[in-house]
């Protein structure tokens, strides 16, 4: 399929597809752009930048100042293009591949990680501390783990959608994790060894009470707490 023009009024692609074409035709791989430029290209389109971020699901790499320190906070870099999302056949093939994680496998990964994001520790449905209006949605991501012998292995992990979109290229290495574990005090080290043996973080009465409270509507939660001294 020939590459359509991003601004062709005859072309009926959605915002994500047109944003992909805009990046290729107006910005060019390796160059930076701002949210303002993207908004100006798609006037009246709500959340054009969010639709552009959806391209990461198709292998596009868009770096921000949190993934590349050379970038200013308002800048993003169109680092690498991925699947030609304007080509229906290529897009369907990519959707098939990403859908290859069955519900059964996904539920197993969620359970293994205690229904918590392995990156930030948030539980599914929990509100983000820095943005209480937004609650975590869990997803399964493929991660490349570096073993102690420096070879790599693909594993499936639970991640919230926020961490997934911001840190999709993040790879953990055994030496890095080792340094973190070595820094723990003896009590925390014993605790984490017990969690590792169980395959999950043990819940305390405090955790269980918090999980219960969290599941209540905010008004019920507040009312209940005023009743208990
Ligand atoms: Zn997270």
Burial class (CB in 10 A: 0-12, 13-18, 19+), 192: middle
pLDDT at 82 over 50: yes
Give the C-alpha separation, 12 to 82, whole Å: 20
The per-residue pLDDT for 98 is: 60
pLDDT in tens, 109-158: 888 888 888 878 888 888 887 777 888 899 888 776 666 677 666 678 88
* Residues measured by CB to lie within 5 Å of ligand 1, the ion: 117, 119-120, 160, 163
For 31-59, what is the mean pLDDT? 88
- Compute, in angstroms, the gap from residue 88 CA to the centroid of ligand 1: 31
Determine the pLDDT at residue 78. Answer: 92
The C-alpha atoms of residue 198 and residue 192 are separated, in whole angstroms, by 10
The order of strands in the sheet holding 75-80 is 32-34, 75-80, 61-63
Q: Which residue has the higher pLDDT, 190 or 53?
A: 190
Q: What is the CA(136)–ligand 1 centre distance, in A?
A: 8
Q: Is 74 within 8 Å of 34 (Cβ atoms)?
A: yes
For residue 124, how far is its CA from the centre of ligand 1 (angstroms)?
Answer: 9
**Per-residue confidence band for 176, with pLDDT thresholds at 50, 70 and 90:** confident
If you measure from the C-alpha of residue 134 to the centroid of ligand 1, how many angstroms do you get, rounded to a whole number?
Answer: 12
Rounded to 5 degrees, what angle do the CA atoms 5, 22, 14 make?
75
CA of 58 to the centre of ligand 1 (A): 20
Rounded to the nearest whole angstrom, what is the distance from the C-alpha of residue 154 to the centroid of ligand 1?
19
What are the distances in angstroms from CA 196 to CA 37, 47, 155, 181, 187? 47, 41, 17, 12, 14
Judged against a pLDDT cut of 90, whether residue 182 lies above it is answered with: yes
Burial of 44 (0-12, 13-18, 19+ CB in 10 A): exposed
Residue 123 Cα to ligand 1 middle (Å)? 8
In angstroms, what is the span from residue 80 Cα to ligand 1's centroid?
Answer: 24
This prediction's pTM: 0.47
Cα 89 to averaged position of ligand 1 atoms, centre (Å): 32
Give me the mean pLDDT over the 200-223 stretch.
76
Centroid of ligand 1 to alpha carbon of 86 (angstroms): 30
Give the model's pLDDT for residue 169: 42
């Amino acid at each position: 399929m020939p590459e359509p023009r991003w601004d062709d009024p005859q072309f009926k692609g959605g915002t994500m597809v047109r944003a992909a074409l805009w990046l290729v035709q107006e910005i060019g791989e390796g160059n930076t752009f701002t949210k303002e430029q993207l908004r100006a290209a798609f006037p009246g389109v709500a959340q054009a930048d969010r639709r552009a971020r959806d391209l990461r699901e198709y292998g596009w790499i868009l770096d921000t100042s949190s993934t590349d320190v050379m970038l200013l906070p308002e800048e993003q870099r169109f680092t690498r293009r991925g699947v030609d999302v304007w080509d229906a056949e290529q897009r369907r093939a990519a959707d098939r591949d990403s859908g290859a994680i069955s519900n059964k496998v996904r539920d197993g990964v969620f359970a293994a990680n205690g229904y918590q994001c392995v990156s930030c520790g948030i539980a599914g449905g929990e509100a983000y501390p820095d943005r209480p209006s937004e609650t975590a949605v869990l997803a399964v991501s493929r991660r490349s783990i570096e073993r102690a012998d420096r070879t790599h292995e693909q594993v499936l992990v639970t991640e919230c959608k926020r961490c997934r979109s911001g840190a999709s290229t993040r790879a953990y290495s055994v030496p890095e994790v080792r340094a973190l574990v070595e820094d723990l005090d003896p009590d925390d080290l014993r605790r984490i060894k017990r969690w590792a043996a169980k395959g999950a973080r043990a819940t305390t009465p405090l955790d269980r009470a918090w999980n219960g409270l969290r599941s209540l509507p905010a008004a019920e939660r507040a009312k209940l707490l005023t009743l208990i001294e």
